Amino acid sequence: MNILMKLILFILFVSSYIHVSGQSSRRLSSTDYKQKLNIKYIGNSSETGGTLAVVVNDVPLAHTTQFLPMDKHGKIVDRNDLSAQLKQVFDNLATALSVAGSDLDHVVKLNICIVESDLMPKVQEYINRRFKPQKRPVVSFVTGDLILSAAQVAVDAIAVSTLIVQKEVKYLKVPNLFGAPNEVQVSVLPMGGCVYVSGQAAKGDITEATRATLKQLDSTLKYLGLEKTDIVQLKSFICPAADVHLVKKEMSAFFGGLAVPPVVYVEWVSKSPLIEIELIAAHTGGLTKPIKQLDFITPTGMTASPVYSKVTRINYGSRVYFSSGYGQTHSNAKNEVKDVFSSMEKILTEVGSDFNHLAKATYYVVTDSASNALNEIRPKYYKTDRPPAASKAKVKGVGLKGRNICIDMIGVVKEK
């Protein structure tokens, strides 16, 4: 096939995407895009193979679903061949991003789930080949079972989009990718404010707990003056991963006739509760003259915590995404946790931020001792009235062997 024919087919494919939000959109012009884009890649993470931190302006950001090594017919490819699965996953990701006016060169964050820590070096090698040296995103790893047992790796991403959407989240479903009819593969967060809602959980079996947790989240959205259609992405920590079909059934019922936004699933080892769900939502209205970059919010009926906010709202400012933060290998959990926060403090300073300007933290812990050490140490780094929204998940592994904790963070650059 000659180059001209490939170009024609690509244009036809992009123009044929299905959008379920019902709102019109256009692409940023090349001039506006270059002026607004200005992605800054800071440092290199020896642990993850990605960049230490990425800074982006207030631009539209595509958030994807979790992609598995699945072909367009819904079949997992080459269950024993990690290289083939990685290629399929990133091909799926690239296809979805193209519909969202983006590509792999504009990915700012990758969240990677692997079934065994032994796979991490091979995944890192693949990322080094697939991404340009000066355009590698920040990367987060977690180890555990995936929602389909034949898969070895799953990936979701955040990327800069050239689509301009008018205050509403734009949901995009890609015809050539396998998925349920009511689930979208990518959503675009418009420019402006956004909120991070910490993980919420309810007791009961997986069906009861999922239904009750979604009801709780809906109450939080209403308190914030938001609707289900403002949700950009949900992340669900579930045990076991094999029960995902029950969670998906409840998700579909919760959204009713609406599109189900991109969802990411991470297996944790909790026996009670069995599920916890966090979300990201757009918040572009009602803040014509925001006073602060960040608001730390405790909805009515909830109790404020000194170590995490129930909701954090970014009102304005450049956003910063960080690769997983690790400590050195220690027999003492407290020292490992101290290492993590010490390393993060240095990176925050380098990007022009600090612990008071974090919007979201995800803590992955492997042992009870690491979890307890985190509870003891993190209050020393956060002001009690402005800790980030957060979820803490006990998992089988954090990617790197011998490490018992990693921290995944999002923040803003401090205004000058």
DSSP E strands: which ranges in 146-274? 153-160, 163-165, 170-173, 186-189, 194-201, 231-238, 263-267
Q: How many residues does the chain have?
A: 416
pLDDT at 167: 80
Query: What are the φ and ψ backbone dihedral angles of 103, each rounded to 5 degrees?
Result: -160, 180
d(CA 139, CA 279): 19
Instruction: Please spell the DSSP secondary structure of 73-108, one letter per residue.
Output: TSPBP-TT-HHHHHHHHHHHHHHHHHHTT--GGGEE
| Interatomic CA distance for residues 151 and 200, integer angstroms | 28
> What pTM value is reported for the model?
0.91
Element (H, E) at 138: strand 138-143
d(CA 167, CA 112) in angstroms, rounded, equals 29
Tell me phi and psi for residue 127, to 5 degrees.
Answer: -60, -40
Buried/exposed 78-114: b ≥16 CB within 10 Å, e otherwise? eeeebeebbbbbbebbbbbbbbbbbebebbbbbbbbb
Measured CA angle at 305 (ends 299, 230), to 5 deg? 35
d(CA 63, CA 262): 7
| DSSP label at residue 150 | T
Do 348 and 271 form a contact (C-beta atoms < 8 A)? no
What sign for the dihedral angle of Cα 117, 95, 41, 62? Answer: negative
Low-confidence residues of the chain: pLDDT under 50: 1, 3-19, 22-24, 30, 287
Which helix (H) or strand (E) covers residue 373, if one does?
Answer: helix 368-377
- CA dihedral over 46, 77, 111, 242, signed as positive or negative: negative
- Shortest CA distance to 195 belongs to which of 314, 293, 78? 314
Cβ neighbours for 129, distance < 8 A, ≥ 6 positions apart: none
SS3 sequence of 266-335: EECCCCCCCEEEEEEEECCCCCCCCCCCEEEECCCCCCCCCCCECEEEECCCCEEEECCECCCCCCCHHH
Res 8: pLDDT: 35
Comparing CA positions, the residue from 278, 84, 263 lying closest to residue 180 is: 263
pLDDT one-digit tens code per residue, 287-344: 455 679 999 999 999 999 999 999 999 999 999 999 999 998 778 999 999 999 999 9
